[in-house]
Structures are given as C-alpha cells and as structure tokens.
Structure 1
C-alpha cells in the first residue's frame, strides 16, 4: 500500500484535458401551413396555439397567443395573425390592443399593428377574420359601442373603425367589405369605402332571442356562401355579396328522420352543442355537427355523436358515436377528410371520416377552438 501510494505520489499528473468541439447554433423552421394541419387554441391551459399534423399526430410548433386572443391564417400561408390585448403588468397597467403578425416558417414576430380598442372575446372564430385576398383584416370591437376595426395587412396599418350597432360574428364579403350577424335576426352588410361604411340589412331570418345562431359558423371562400346552425338545429345558408340572400332553413333532426328540435322546455331530443359544434367540408358541402341528447337551451353540452349532413340534399348520411363527449370539431379540407376534435380533458382526437377510425389521440393538446387551412 505504501509503495503504491509512493508510486502514485511520484508520478506525473494525468492529462485530463478533452478537446471540445465548438458549439454551433441553428434555427429550425417549419413548412407553411398544410391542409392536413390543425391548430388548437390553448385557451387558459396552454401558452399559445399548438400546431399539429393530422396525418402523423405530431406537434409541429406553437404560435404565441395569449388568453382570449383570436388567431387567423394568411390565405397565402405566409403569416399567422393574432388579435389580442395585453397589459404592461400582466393583468393590469397600460392596455395595448393589437394584431400581432408571425412568420409562418420561423414563428418569429414580424410586427405589431396597434388598434384603437377591442373587447376581449376569445374562442370566437368569426370575431377576427381576414379577407379572401389576404389584404384586409376585420376585428370586432366594443369600445364603447359594437363596431369593426379595419386593418390594411399589406401596409401593416390600422385604417378605419366603423360602428355597427347590435352586430358581431363577421363574414368576408369580397369586393364589398364584410357582413355580420345582428341581434334583430338580420345579416348586415358593410360596403367599405375608404374610412366609411354603407350599412344595409337583410330582412330578419332567425330569432336571436328564442333560437340563436352558433357564432362559430363556416364560410366557404370558393362558393361565397356561409352555413349557419341554430340552437334547435335549423340549418341556413347565405350567399354573400352586395345583397346577400338567405335560404329557407331545414331541420337537422328531420334530415335524420326524427322529430325537429323545439324551443319548448322539457322536450327531450337530439340537439347540437359545444363551443365549436359544427365543421364544414367545403369540397363536398358536408356539415359535421356535434349532437347530444338533451332539451332546448342545452347548447353548451358536449356532443356524444357526430352527424354528417349533406347540406344540398338536406340529409344526414352518417352518424358517428364518440367514446367520450367532445366540445369542438373541425374537418380537414382534403379529398380524404380527417375530423379533429377535443373536449374538457384537453385531448385532441383525429378520426378518419371514411371509416370512423381513431387515427390519433394527442394528450395535453389544449381544449380551445380548432382552426384548419381553408382552400383558396
């Protein structure tokens, strides 16, 4: 032991140096938004809107969206737009209202476009919309009266604020301006001319007090039509233009061969429900609706089934039974569509429309509204 210790003590110190390779940093990028991707608003649970690939079930990235923000996708796929309100001290201090612009490949901040004001309304797909050509954004505003802020996205600049009393839930109106649903049951159209707007209304076509329309409705850029669904299950379509026209409604329950929904209390029936209860597959005109068994005014209840409705034929062509109730639904605008759903657990499901097969279950995906890339 002593000999060994002496030998060690007398030995030269070992060379412990290691050649280190210089660090290299890089920046990852992702593709522009694809038709099979879906975007889940994190709401109160996540720090942003998560991007998922419906084919692989894998997360691609996240767009920073604060609570109660609304996100829209640039039709050209270059940007993600977020209408949001922030405070200098988290939840107090100086308030700032803006559209924040992010690059779709890097997800880096491009710029912020200041707004004069807006009410905080999250989980509403149609309170922040982008025109079909991607040049203009319309942001619902309520300060102090209801109106719309108009933003030039090409110049990244606020241009005008137009008061629109009693109306919200916006619809692009190409070549005209925008349209909106109103509390008197009409559809308003605003012909934008510079900083002014000429406002006209259709005749009232729904009862906003007794049978309102779900505000997460669907607009089709190609056909310039909007599909609406009421709390009792009435389906309307409106052709958008300088003078919009609205079709006579049909009952989704009658389309399935059962008794139509009613507003009378204690009338048990199938009703639509959830925060985002419907999704339109634009290429086929098929509507996918979350349905539950209940009575009228149970419109917030999660759906236990999905009804696939051929809107043109006014017929329910398929019913999917879900393993657990879901609150939000969207559908990819692909030839072989995929259904995207989530519920109170914050899990996202991807279903194959053709077979009803569950392709993916994604844990902790978020429970907010779902957005997909619309066809141009």
Structure 2
C-alpha cells in the first residue's frame, strides 16, 4: 500500500505506508469537537499575567472544558442567551508595540471559534476588573469602560455587532446594567450615576451621595442580582449597601458586616484591628439564596489587598452574617454558582483553585494551575 503527499501542485515521492513508521502505527488524525452552552455549574477563570486566556471549568468534576481566547488586560462577558462569549480587548500589530486595535471580540459559545470583531475607539487598559465591560440583561447592548483621555463608556450594539457611540462620564467608573434604562456607575463624589438611553440622547443623572470615596471606598468588583435588578456594594470597612436600579435608583442605608456578625463595626482609625473585607475579587453573590459571600481577613483599615482567611456569608435582606466558612488556603478571588446547591470557587495568588460546598464550606476538589485572575459564573 502506498501513499502520496501533494505539496501545492507538486507531487512528493510515493513512499510505502509501512516505511513511514517502523512500528506500523497508524497516523493520527486531527478533529474538532463542541462543548455545551454556558452552564450554571461552570466557572470561568482568567489565567492572569502568566498566560492569556480564560479557562472554563466544570465545578462538579473540576475538569477543564475549554478556553476562551482572552488577551492580557482584557475583560470577558457572557451572552445572556448563551450563544456567545464576548471579550473586550486591545491588541498591537507587533505584539507589544505597533498599531493599537481596540475591539469587542465575539466567540461562538459551543465551538469557541471567532465569529467577528467589533471595532471600538478605545478602552481602559487595566486588569482584574469585572465591571469594566458589562452586557445588558437582554443581551442587546454592551458597555465598555473607556479612559482615553477622559472617563467615558463605549456603547456597542451586540445584536448588530456594531459600535454606536461614546458617552462621556466624568468622575465615574464600575458599570452595572440597568434594564429598560441603560446603565449605572459608581462615582468619586459618592453618588451613583445613571445613564438613560445611552445609544440615543444619553441623559445622565446622579443619586444623592451615599458613601465617602476618599474615606471608605467601595470595592470595584461588586455584585449584581439580575433577577431583582439590584447591585450590592461593600466598602473597605465592610459597610454593605444595596441599590435597586431604575431611572431613579433606590439606595438602602448601609449596615456593618462586623455588627451583623456580633462584633463592633470596623473603622478607618489607624491601628484598629478587626475583620475586614479584602483582596482583588472580595465577593460573590448567590441570587437564589440572597447570600453574599465575602472574603475576610484580620487586619487594619487599608489592608484591602490582603487575601481572604475566611468567607463570611451575609443574608443581605436580613442584614445578618449567617455562616462563617474557614478556608484551607488564603484566597485572592471568589465566585459562586447560581443553582440551589451552590458551589464556591476560590483561587490563590499562586493559581490553585479550590471548589467548596457553598452551604458547608467543605472542600470538594482542587484544580492545580486553575488561574490567578478573576472568576466569572453564569447569571440565572
């Protein structure tokens, strides 16, 4: 039996098949496969600075399912319909230099193949932020935070896959979708800005100040309850606020997590030691239970970069810490699945991933080299 290899229009020499491999092994054949649409039991973990990409893990098995091609300093969002993965990213024609290209890249959720690229004028270059790129609850609009040269938001039509316009938003950042309205954002004057009809007239209103950005800032990677259209914020001292979104958001009075756990509230005073929230992605929210999972550490105010030593589970409606879960390793990021039996994923500064039972905190499995970056889960 013989085989012939064609190189362009030139035929290579005919070689007996058995001579190609002295052991008589059959040549490998490459193939492709597909994966299921985004699942509520999956975790999406950025690899961080070590490598590009966002890995997809099945929380129940701990196995890696695939990878979304996300470059350095990029932000990923999941299409609410489960058809696409979106990556807001910036690339250079010569790797680390050359012509800069800013875009929202669209990947098919089942094949992970490139669908298209949506060119945008610019975007902020910063890592570890979950609120720099958000998609509206109906999947129609994408909002990309921009800082070139001033603070603004790029509005993208995700259905038509076209850039629409840039809305200037001075003094504000950390975006959250606001269904039927547009989007909202936290501002340095302690207010919540709301942009109505961002693809059209784009009118901007502000709430009354409800936090002191210079004294007790809010963590940028806050939580969002899609079903209740409510954002949940935590400050550096552990004060919890909620905002029912709409044309005129209704913001609750804050409450102290430490007081909710039976301690004195934490303060901003120097040398005052207490339990404080902290690290890069300090919280995750399970909408079905109405529970906020917060990474906590013992320290002083302004220790907000310290990794978590415990997880405090806060019943937001009851304003009570209902469970405290010990961590087998100090954690840098946290995510939670949205089912009735929630699973937690935490990762360490070294990239070790640990899956925990969301109710008991029991360790279920470990994932070596899971990734050092932010964790995303599918909203219900």
TM range (shorter): over 0.9
Q: Whole-Å Cα distance in 2 between the matches of residues 16 and 274 of structure 1?
A: 59
Q: Whole-Å Cα distance in 1 between the matches of residues 55 and 85 of structure 2?
A: 12
Distance 1:245 1:26, change over 3 A: same
Name the SS for the 1:148 alignment partner.
Answer: strand
Is 1:242 the counterpart of 2:247? The answer is: yes
Native 8 Å contact 1:99 1:115 kept in 2: yes
Structure 1 residue 226: deviation in Å? 0.6
Match of 2:280 among 275, 295, 312: 275
Alignment of 1:32-51 (within 5 A): 32-51=37-56
Structure 1 residue 194: deviation in Å? 3.9
Q: Whole-Å Cα distance in 1 between the matches of residues 190 and 331 of structure 2?
A: 29
Structure 1 residue 24: deviation in Å? 4.6
Q: TM-score, normalised by structure 1?
A: 0.94
Residue 165 of structure 2 aligns with which residue? 160
Match of 1:88 among 90, 93, 96: 93
Native 8 Å contact 1:160 1:196 kept in 2: no
Q: Whole-Å Cα distance in 2 between the matches of residues 158 and 216 of structure 1?
A: 25
Is 1:336 the counterpart of 2:341? The answer is: yes
Is 1:324 the counterpart of 2:329? The answer is: yes
Residue 197 of structure 2 aligns with which residue? 192
Where in structure 1 are there 5+ consecutive unaligned residues? Answer: 1-14
Name the SS for the 1:31 alignment partner.
Answer: coil
Deviates more, 1:165-174 or 1:320-329: 320-329
Residue 112 of structure 1 aligns with which residue? 117
Q: Whole-Å Cα distance in 1 between the matches of residues 50 and 27 of structure 2?
A: 39
Task: Show CA shifts across 1:23-57 (max 9, x none).
Answer: 65421111111000000011111220000000000
Native 8 Å contact 1:217 1:227 kept in 2: yes
Match of 2:376 among 343, 362, 371: 371
Residue 79 of structure 2 aligns with which residue? 74
Residue 12 of structure 2 aligns with which residue? none
Residue 298 of structure 1 aligns with which residue? 303
Native 8 Å contact 2:273 2:300 kept in 1: yes
- Structure with the greater alpha carbon radius of gyration: 1
Is 1:256 the counterpart of 2:247? The answer is: no
Q: TM-score, normalised by structure 2?
A: 0.93
Native 8 Å contact 2:310 2:324 kept in 1: yes
Q: Whole-Å Cα distance in 2 between the matches of residues 203 and 356 of structure 1?
A: 38
Residue 124 of structure 1 aligns with which residue? 129
Structure 1 residue 251: deviation in Å? 0.2
Ranges of 4+ aligned residues in structure 1 off by more than 4 Å: 15-24
Name the SS for the 2:195 alignment partner.
Answer: strand
Native 8 Å contact 2:267 2:301 kept in 1: yes
Deviates more, 1:26-35 or 1:223-232: 26-35
Residue 208 of structure 1 aligns with which residue? 213
Name the SS for the 1:349 alignment partner.
Answer: strand
Q: Whole-Å Cα distance in 1 between the matches of residues 359 and 238 of structure 2?
A: 24
Where in structure 2 are there 5+ consecutive unaligned residues? Answer: 1-16
Alignment of 1:3-14 (within 5 A): none
Distance 1:191 1:364, change over 3 A: same
Structure 1 residue 345: deviation in Å? 1.3
Q: Whole-Å Cα distance in 2 between the matches of residues 200 and 135 of structure 1?
A: 22
Task: Show CA shifts across 1:321-350 (max 9, x none).
Answer: 112210101110010000110011100110
